[in-house]
Structure 1
Amino acid sequence: MDELTHFNHQQRAKMVDVTDKAITFREAVATVKVIMAPETLQRIHAGQIKKGDVLAVAQVAGIMAAKKTSELIPMCHLLPLNGVDISFEDDGQTTLVITAVAKVSGKTGVEMEALCGAQIAALTVYDMCKAMDRGMVITDCHLVEKKGGKSGHFVFGE
C-alpha cells in the first residue's frame, strides 16, 4: 500500500511537499448537472432571468473559483493555472450540464480546480434562478478525465 502523503510523522494533516517533483503538463475535466424545471431552462436561454445572463455569470464564477481553489480547500497547492474553461450543454428540457477544464504546467494536478470550478458555476446557476425554482438539484459532480503526473491518464468509468 502506498504511504499516505497527507500525514506527517505525528499522523497529523500536512500539505504534500512537491519540491522534488518534475514540472509537467496536467489537465483535468470535471462535470456537474443542474436539474431544473423546464420553464427555468427556457428562461435561461431566453435571457429572462431577472439577475442577468445566467450562463455568462456562471462561467466567470467557475473560472474565478478554479483560480481560488487553494483558498477554499486547505491542503490544495496554489497553482499558476495556464487556463480554465467552463462550458454548458443541456438536453433542451430540464438538465444543464456544466463542464470545467483546468490546465497547468506544474508539479501537482488540477483535479480540484476543475471540480471546484464546475461546482461554483452550478451554485451560481442556482443562486441566479432560485427565485423562480427553489427545487433545482445539483448532482453527479465528478472528475471526467485527468492527464499528466505520476498517476497518469484517468478516464471516468474505465
Structure 2
Amino acid sequence: MSAAPIEHRGVVQRVEGGLAIVAMETAGCASCGQGGSCGIGKMAAGRPATLLTLPATPGIRAGDLVSVTLPAGRLSLSALLGYLFPAFAMLLGAWLGTALAGSDSATAIGAMLGFVAALAITRLLVALLPGLLPAPRLIPVAGHSPVSQQEFHHEH
C-alpha cells in the first residue's frame, strides 16, 4: 500500500517557459501536525506565502488555485540519499582513516572524503536515474479555498 501524497495549496502567480511560479499557502503551517520539521513552513519564515518554481501542468494559468502534490515515498528516498547516506559515508570514511593510518588527521580526512564521495555518488545516481527525485505535480483545485488569493500576493 502506497503512502498518501504530501499536498500543499497555492496560487499560480505566473507561467513562463513551461514553469509555474506558485505562491504556497503557509498560514496553516503553524498548526500542522508536522510542526517544525516541514520544509514549506521553514521556507515561509513567518511570511504569508512562499514562492516555488515548478514544472507547469498544461492548462495552468496565472490566478489558478492549485494543489502541489509530492509522493511521500519518493520524499523519503530523497531524505535517505540527502541526509542518511552522506552521514553514513562520513562515518565509514572516518573509520577507514583510523583503521589505515590511526591518526586524528587521517580520521578527519577520511570523514571528509567519505562525505564528498557520498555527494558525488548521489549526484551520479540522480543523473543516471532521472525518476529518482520526487517530481511535484500541480493539480488544479475546483471550488474555493478558505484562503483568499489576496493572501498569496507576493512582490519580488
Higher strand proportion (structure 1 or 2): 1
Task: Identify which of structures 1 and 2 has the higher relative contact order when contacts are C-alpha pairs closer than 8 Å and 6+ apart.
Answer: 1
The structure whose Rg is larger is: 2
